[in-house]
């Protein structure tokens, strides 16, 4: 049995669900016992990271480690690509999301509530996110298979893009979307696994934003 420890608003949990859906797997979800950061959860997952996967007693965390594990254990459809260079490109795109793009978005989460608004930070992060989007557009241009089918390196982007749009609208962020990204984003969002996840996830995003008062 596949069990995923999740919290509703986590974009890394959504990223993992996109992969699970694309592979046609069934799983159950549990909240971290005791809550985020709790000792009870850390007794199971020492780092406290979400998501974490329990596959018949094998417990693993970090969305990238989980993705590569699931792709090996459930290889159909394959999500890493054929050949060393293609696989390296897929991994490069996955890491770029987790280590370059998403952290620039994450810097905003603690400043969404109106009493925490910081115009200078908003403008700075909007510029940094825009720079990352431009870099991504160039990377996709150089990639041997920036097109779909959905790969392991694509799964983080749809939900991050949805958060960028939500923050841009509610915090008046001057995000510059490269025109070259639009067809890739549209193709990504047309994938059934992505469309299903975005549709299930949207209310959780909305709940989080409303709870923050924006």
User: Minimal CA–CA distance to 25: which of 69, 91, 89?
Assistant: 69
Task: Tell me the closest approach of the beta carbon of residue 154 to ligand GSH, in angstroms.
Answer: 14
In the complex with ligand GSH, the residue whose CB is nearer, 82 or 99, is: 99
Q: In the bound complex, what is the minimum distance in angstroms from residue 19's beta carbon to ligand GSH?
A: 12
| Range in contact with ligand GSH (rule: CB under 6 A) among 23-31, 48-56, 115-123, 135-143 | 48-56
- Of 25, 36, 202, 211, the one binding ligand GSH by CB under 6 A: 36
* Residue choice 62, 71, 154, 197 for contact with ligand GSH (CB under 6 A): 62
C-alpha to C-alpha distances, 196 to 4, 21, 110, 157, 192, nearest whole angstrom: 17, 8, 28, 15, 6
* 157 interacts with ligand GSH by CB under 6 A: no
Residue from 29, 68, 98, 189 that binds ligand GSH (CB under 6 A)?
98
Contact region with ligand GSH (CB under 6 A), list: 57-65, 163-171, 174-182, 191-199? 57-65
Q: Does 42 bind ligand GSH (CB under 6 A)?
A: no
DSSP string for residues in the chain = -EEEE--TT-HHHHHHHHHHHHTT---EEEPPTTSTT-HHHHHHSTT--SSEEEETTEEEESHHHHHHHHHHHS-SS--S-SSHHHHHHHHHHHHHIIIIIHHHHHHHHTT-SGGG--HHHHHHHHHHHHHHHHHHHHHHHH-S--SSSP-GGGTTHHHHHHHHHHHHHHHT------TTHHHHHHHHHHSHHHHHHHHHHHHHHHHHHHHHT-
**Any contact of residue 73 with ligand GSH (CB under 6 A)?**
no
Under 8 Å between Cβ of 160 and 101: yes
Smaller CB separation from ligand GSH, 36 or 148: 36
Told to check if 35 binds ligand GSH by CB under 6 A, we report: no
Q: How far is the CB of 188 from ligand GSH (least distance, A)?
A: 18
Q: Is 37 in the site for ligand GSH (CB under 6 A)?
A: yes
| Closest separation in Å from C-beta 83 to ligand GSH | 25
Chain residues in the site for ligand GSH (CB under 6 A):
10-12, 36-37, 48-50, 62-64, 98
């Amino acid at each position: 049995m596949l069990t995923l420890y999740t919290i509703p608003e986590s974009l890394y949990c959504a990223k993992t669900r996109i992969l699970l859906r694309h592979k046609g797997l069934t799983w159950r979800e549990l909240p971290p016992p005791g809550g985020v950061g709790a000792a009870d959860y850390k007794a199971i997952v020492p780092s406290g990271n979400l998501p974490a996967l329990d596959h018949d007693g094998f417990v693993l965390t970090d969305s990238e480690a989980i993705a590569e594990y699931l792709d090996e254990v459930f290889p159909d459809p394959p999500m890493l690509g054929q050949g060393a260079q293609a696989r390296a490109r897929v991994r490069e795109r996955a890491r770029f999301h987790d280590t370059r793009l998403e952290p620039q978005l994450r810097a905003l989460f603690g400043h969404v509530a109106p009493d925490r608004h910081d115009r200078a930070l908003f403008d700075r992060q909007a510029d940094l996110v825009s720079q990352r989007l431009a870099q991504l557009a160039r990377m996709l241009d150089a990639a041997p298979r920036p097109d779909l089918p959905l790969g392991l390196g694509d799964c983080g982007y749809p939900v991050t893009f949805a958060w960028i749009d939500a923050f841009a609208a509610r915090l008046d962020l001057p995000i510059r979307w490269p025109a070259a990204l639009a067809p890739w984003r549209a193709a990504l969002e047309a994938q059934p696994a992505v469309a299903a996840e975005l549709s299930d996830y949207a209310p959780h995003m909305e709940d989080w934003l409303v709870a923050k008062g924006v």
